[in-house]
Amino acid sequence: MTTYKPDSDRTTGKLTLAQILEIFAAGQTPMKFTAYDGSSAGPADAALGLDLRTPRGTTYLATAPGELGMARAYVSGDVEMQGVHPGDPYDLLVALGDKLDFKRPPARVLANIVRSIGFEHLKPIAPPPQEALPRWRRIAEGLRHSKTRDAEAIHHHYDVSNKFYEWVLGPSMTYTCATYPEADASLEEAQDNKYRLVFDKLRLQPGDRLLDVGCGWGGMVRYAARHGVKAIGVTLSTQQAEWAQRAIQEQGLSDLAEVRHSDYRDVRESGFDAVSSIGLTEHIGVQNYPAYFRFLKSKMRVGALLLNHCITRPENRTAAAADAFIDRYVFPDGELTGSGRIITEAQNVGLEVLHEENLRHHYALTLRDWCRNLVEHWDEAVAEVGLPTAKVWGLYMAGSRVGFETNVVQLHQVLAVKLDEKGGDGGLPLRPWWTP
């Protein structure tokens, strides 16, 4: 464990900046803390550490003492991580431990921190430009999960740069959990296997019609079209839609595949044989689940199957709002709940849930491989999107990997069918018909 100052010294004795940084970011592994005032704390020979480089970083830590302040200081370059690559700071985040929850110090310790650094650092300053507006400002400026505000949230995260996403995601351009046939399978093998699994669960056959909502760069749409299925995908990201339509044309799939820049709620066609939702549910808002599942059901023929694939919490009690870093830097307005809530809402609109499974370990492997890609293309990524944005992505993906490994978050696939008025399911097999 990291060696701290005795509690009495932390509440009364003047603290150096390195000691203050140590208090904010103390973890489960010995780390070295250094600061611009020349102070240091922790073992001098520690392989991992944090360096507080500027007075602005002190202000960020003091005005938002916790995860958000640490993120601001790191993204802006005022705190640097030592011993890890910024494209994959996984080892340092594991060392910090405690579910990456940077602790707000107790009141007496916080009071001593203020005395030690000076009251001038308590005046809030502008956050890094990569940070989204706080939730209350977003609420004031637009109805949450309205079509306009959802489009703005998607733009914040997905319209970064298609070239950047190509470097991180690899040739599949798939920004959702892969399914690894073996732990050492390549990312591309695992992503193709994920699409195969979804395709098989939906019992799709040549000539069938698939609706893929929140389709990203069209990976599922193109997979289905290559297997003779007529597929329509919708995404709120302009850049995704443009990239997907170009890929569809280049691969000769235009007769069967289409990706639209559109809100899923604007799809007019109905009678689909299957609907896939891979990574959309996190964005629509828990209170909108009834309308969401009701809408998807309205697009399905009797006997059609729905596959809902999304990140979840490991239980159903926690508030749905994302933590501060994710909400302000990654997924504005994103919400997570437990798989039980998702199953309940699907059932409440009359869909019969047939199967569900948790793939959280697969997502940890997926994030490992995305971080590896980012490290490999770090210089190009920084040139494309800038150092602060590249650092946000490395921190977010490595932190998410730790979250999946430690069961802070999960990934569930839920399969459901639309019944007729007498409970008929269109003649589905008695047991699961797909291979894992």
* Residue range 362-412, pLDDT digits in tens: 999 999 999 999 999 999 999 999 999 999 999 999 999 999 999 999 999
Predicted confidence (pLDDT) at residue 154 exceeds the cutoff of 50: no
**349 — pLDDT class (breaks 50, 70, 90):** very high
User: What is the token pair recorded at 372?
Assistant: 């590896």
Which residue in the block uniquely carries the two structure tokens 């809408």? 295
> What pLDDT score was predicted for residue 101?
53
Predicted confidence (pLDDT) at residue 140 exceeds the cutoff of 60: no
Predicted confidence (pLDDT) at residue 413 exceeds the cutoff of 80: yes
Predicted confidence (pLDDT) at residue 340 exceeds the cutoff of 60: yes
**142 — pLDDT class (breaks 50, 70, 90):** low
* Residue range 42-99, pLDDT digits in tens: 999 999 999 999 999 999 988 887 788 999 999 999 999 999 999 999 999 998 875 4
Looking at the chain, the whole-number percentage of residues with pLDDT higher than 70 is 89
What are residue 261's DSSP bridge partners? Answer: 235
- Report, as an integer, the average pLDDT of 274-282: 97
Mean of pLDDT over the chain: 89
> What pLDDT score was predicted for residue 149?
47
Q: What is the DSSP letter of 147?
A: H
> What pLDDT score was predicted for residue 159?
53
User: What is the token pair recorded at 350?
Assistant: 């009359």
> What pLDDT score was predicted for residue 108?
85
Number of alpha carbons in the 13 Å side-chain half-sphere of residue 16: 17
Predicted confidence (pLDDT) at residue 139 exceeds the cutoff of 70: no
> What pLDDT score was predicted for residue 67?
82
Q: Where are the alpha helices (DSSP H) in 202-338?
A: 219-226, 238-250, 281-284, 289-298, 324-325
Q: What gap in Å lies between CA 328 and CA 127, rounded to an integer? A: 10
Cα–Cα separations (whole angstroms), residue 345 to 236, 348, 352: 24, 5, 11
Predicted confidence (pLDDT) at residue 169 exceeds the cutoff of 70: yes
> What pLDDT score was predicted for residue 270?
98
> What pLDDT score was predicted for residue 328?
85
**322 — pLDDT class (breaks 50, 70, 90):** confident
User: What is the token pair recorded at 273?
Assistant: 């044989």
Which residue in the block uniquely carries the two structure tokens 């701290």? 4
> What pLDDT score was predicted for residue 4?
43
Q: What are phi and psi of 102, to 5 degrees?
A: -65, 125
* Residue range 213-231, pLDDT digits in tens: 999 999 999 999 999 999 9
* Residue 7 CB burial class (10 angstroms; 0-12, 13-18, ≥19): exposed
* Residue range 5-38, pLDDT digits in tens: 444 466 767 899 999 888 878 766 789 999 999 9
**Cβ contacts of residue 153 below 8 Å, gap of 6+?**
283, 331, 332, 333, 334
Domain range annotation of the chain = 7-117, 150-418
**102 — pLDDT class (breaks 50, 70, 90):** low
Inter-axis angle of helices 187-201 and 360-376, nearest 10? 140
Candidates 3.30.70.60, 3.40.50.1820, 3.40.50.150, 3.90.1150.10; correct CATH number of 150-418? 3.40.50.150
Q: Higher pLDDT residue, 167 or 147?
A: 167
